[in-house]
């Protein structure tokens, strides 16, 4: 099975990249399923129902979240209803939505998709992601051996630790949140595909998606500024392609994909 995981979709430039590039990638790479992180897709923070439907129509099968998933307050009911969207499962009990989904792709294989947030430098309101994922993997593995974990975290050490913690129990642990793709994609010892950060799908003529001039002014002046999504000049889609053994759930390979959005 060919699985594509697309890194953090940032604002309108990121959405444009999805609409233009994902349909072509599905054909070129003979993709069976596309999973994408959507937590920055609405103006850099959050998701809306309208935007989610646009992403589904463009070829995304499942959407994952992160620490900004609830930034758009009008989206709470939608997040609670939409079965193809997962938010971090280690939010406290009572948060809208779900932390994992078992999805049947058009190609047939059933895949579990789990989302979690790290705790290092991410705020104090998340439950322990290690224990939360330990329990969720046990539950999902009863239905399918193919499991992808989107671990949305700030520090490389916490992400690497999670990779080793889940090695052999899930198909892939892919890191999101820092918006800069890392070059450490690999198969861990027990067959789990791993990368510390997939990178961003959005404007790279920016500071991790935001207008670089505003960010530079804020850093130089140390005065509060209203951040804005960078205007699309250098837009790219960053993803990883994972070849999955559908019988065992182990990954056979993982490689980085980067495609420029060219007018």
Q: Which residues are catalytic?
A: 68
**Dihedral angle sign, alpha carbons of residues 180, 38, 56, 147:** positive
The 3-state DSSP class for residue 76 equals helix
HSE-CB at 240 with a 13 A cutoff on CA atoms is: 31
Is the CB of residue 169 less than 8 Å from the CB of residue 138? no
Nearest-angstrom CA–CA distance, 235 and 257: 14
Residue count (the chain): 263
Furthest-apart CA atoms within the chain: distance in Å:
56
Burial of 199 (0-12, 13-18, 19+ CB in 10 A): buried
Q: Identify the helix (H) or strand (E) that includes residue 215.
A: helix 212-221
Other Cβ atoms less than 10 A from the Cβ of 105: the count is: 17
DSSP state of 226: -
* 3-state class percentages of the chain: helix first, strand second, coil last, to nearest 5: 25, 30, 45
**φ/ψ (deg, to 5) at 7:** -70, 165
């Amino acid at each position: 099975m060919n699985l594509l995981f697309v890194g953090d979709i940032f604002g309108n430039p990121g959405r444009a990249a999805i609409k233009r590039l994902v349909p072509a990638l599905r054909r070129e790479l003979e993709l069976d399923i596309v999973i994408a992180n959507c937590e920055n897709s609405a103006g850099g923070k959050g998701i809306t129902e309208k935007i989610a439907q646009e992403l589904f129509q463009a070829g995304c099968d499942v959407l994952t979240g992160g620490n900004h998933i609830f930034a758009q307050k009008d989206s709470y009911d939608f997040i609670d209803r939409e079965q193809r969207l997962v938010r971090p499962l280690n939010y406290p009990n009572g948060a809208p939505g779900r932390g994992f989904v078992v999805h049947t792709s058009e190609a047939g294989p059933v895949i579990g998709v789990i989302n979690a947030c790290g705790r290092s430098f991410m705020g104090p309101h998340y439950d322990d992601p290690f224990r939360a994922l330990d329990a969720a993997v046990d539950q999902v593995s009863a239905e399918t051996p193919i499991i992808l974990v989107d671990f949305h975290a700030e520090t490389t050490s916490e992400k690497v630790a999670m990779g080793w913690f889940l090695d052999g129990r899930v198909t892939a642990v892919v890191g999101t949140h820092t918006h800069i793709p890392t070059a450490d994609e690999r198969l861990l010892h027990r067959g789990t595909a791993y990368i510390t950060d997939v990178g961003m799908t959005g404007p790279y003529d920016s500071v991790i998606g935001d207008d670089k001039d505003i960010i530079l002014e804020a850093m130089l002046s140390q005065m509060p500024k209203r951040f804005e999504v960078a205007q699309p000049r250098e837009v790219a889609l960053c993803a990883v392609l994972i070849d999955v053994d559908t019988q065992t759930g182990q990954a056979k390979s993982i490689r980085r994909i980067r495609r420029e959005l060219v007018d």
